[in-house]
Amino acid sequence: MKDWKKTLIRPEQPIIEAMRILDESALQIALVVDENRRLVGVITDGDIRRALLSGVTLDRPVHLVMHKDFTTVDIHASRDEILDLMKREDLRQIPVVDNQGRVIDLRVLVDLIRLSEEDIQLSERENWLSERENWAVIMAGGTGSRLQPLTDDCPKPLLMVGNKPLLETIVENFVEFGIRKIFVSVNYKADMIEAFLGNGSRWSIDIYYLREKERMGTVGALGLLPERPAHPLIVMNGDVLTKANFQYLLDFHQSHRAKATMCVRDYHFQVPYGVVKTDQHRLIGIDEKPVQQFFVNAGIYVLEPEILDLIPYDAYLDMPDLFEELFKQGRETIVFPIHEYWMDIGKIDDLERARGEYAKNFADGHK
């Protein structure tokens, strides 16, 4: 049972501290308390990502993003009562407070179910805490032309980053988050990728291949899936190195009832000149070396199974075109901001930077 006291944070502390608590405590919640430990708000990963989308920076105080409408129980609540409440309100954690609203404990669903396994039907337990049944698809069919000559004899996903090929890190990240079925789209030097990954047995998972006869774009290979998945599908480019939390991504997608989710990354650059503002021939202002800020496509997506019906069989299609079509049809499409480590390895400079940063961002980087 984890130490719930590590989830406590004060309202004036910065949002980045709440992020650290969420990452390190593994309880998926931060409890915002006043100087007397009275609970004034709660913060989840989704709260922080929604704040980032609205332009809130990580140095701002947590009270700007905390959720004030939270559920609590008192110390007399029984295990069964708490479990019923969690099930009814779809909660994974419930703070326990005394009669003055001070936090005295945190009840966590996984611990309660572990303690009460004998009293809960297995099927009901699986409904609440089932391992991820989602499939993942890794798009690994590109030629990596911008990385030549390194890719002349080696497909880009098998280039070494840290102490292993990039593709191995991607697979292991999925395994860490409970993904047990992975499809890999292959085209350029497909035999090398298939020989390296095999059938996935060394990770105790199943790996299958979507063999492109010719290049099919960043989403076209999904038309080769042998059947429609039963759960939301994660799709990821095979040249992305990231520590993105796939559990948070799937939870975010499902909590917003989205049909398609695109992961995005904050990107900014400073214009090296003074930007002149004009009204026809009149000078009305000068913005000296302004910083431009955007969200850019991070190459990771979640798609509802029904969306695959829009992807033609054995035809070229890029993911931005699919999202544009979904937008035109009025389907619910959302974005999920990645604040964790992320690197798109498109050029040699990117590859060298990823190699230099691997050790400090991935636990096995020094092996």
**Residue 12 CB: number of other CB atoms within 10 A?**
9
* pLDDT at residue number 173: 94
**Residue 9 CB: number of other CB atoms within 10 A?**
22
CATH T-level topology, domain 135-361: Spore Coat Polysaccharide Biosynthesis Protein SpsA; Chain A (3.90.550)
**E-assigned strand segments in 124-281:** 135-139, 160-161, 164-165, 181-186, 206-211, 233-237, 240-242, 260-270, 274-279
Tell me the mean pLDDT in the region 36-42: 94
Tell me the mean pLDDT in the region 196-222: 94
Q: Which residue has the tokens 């980045």?
A: 16
Mean residue pLDDT across the chain: 89
Distance between CA atoms of residues 211 and 188, nearest Å: 10
* pLDDT at residue number 115: 53
Distance between CA atoms of residues 35 and 321, nearest Å: 51
* pLDDT at residue number 356: 94
Name the β-bridge partners of 207: 182
* pLDDT at residue number 185: 97
More reliable by pLDDT, 207 or 77: 207
- The string of pLDDT tens digits covering residues 164-193 is 999 999 999 999 999 999 999 999 999 999
* pLDDT at residue number 366: 44
Alpha-carbon separation of residue 169 from 94, 201, 243, 252 (angstroms): 34, 16, 10, 23
- Residue ranges of the domains in the chain? 4-129, 135-361
- The string of pLDDT tens digits covering residues 107-134 is 988 777 765 544 444 444 444 444 689 9
Q: Is the pLDDT of residue 279 over 90?
A: no
Backbone angles phi, psi at 211, to 5 degrees: -90, 110
CATH T-level topology, domain 4-129: CBS-domain (3.10.580)
- The string of pLDDT tens digits covering residues 43-60 is 998 889 988 888 888 889
The closest of 252, 274, 270, 271 to 261, measured between CA atoms, is 252
- The string of pLDDT tens digits covering residues 227-258 is 999 999 999 999 999 999 998 999 999 989 99
Q: Is the pLDDT of residue 296 over 70?
A: yes
Q: How confident is the model at residue 364 (pLDDT cuts 50, 70, 90)?
A: low
Q: Give percent of the chain with pLDDT exceeding 70.
A: 93
Q: Is the pLDDT of residue 272 over 90?
A: no
Tell me the mean pLDDT in the region 130-158: 91
pTM, to two decimals: 0.81
Type of residue numbered 242: T
- The string of pLDDT tens digits covering residues 331-362 is 999 999 998 999 999 999 999 999 999 999 88
Q: How confident is the model at residue 313 (pLDDT cuts 50, 70, 90)?
A: confident
Assigned token pair, 183:
């499809």
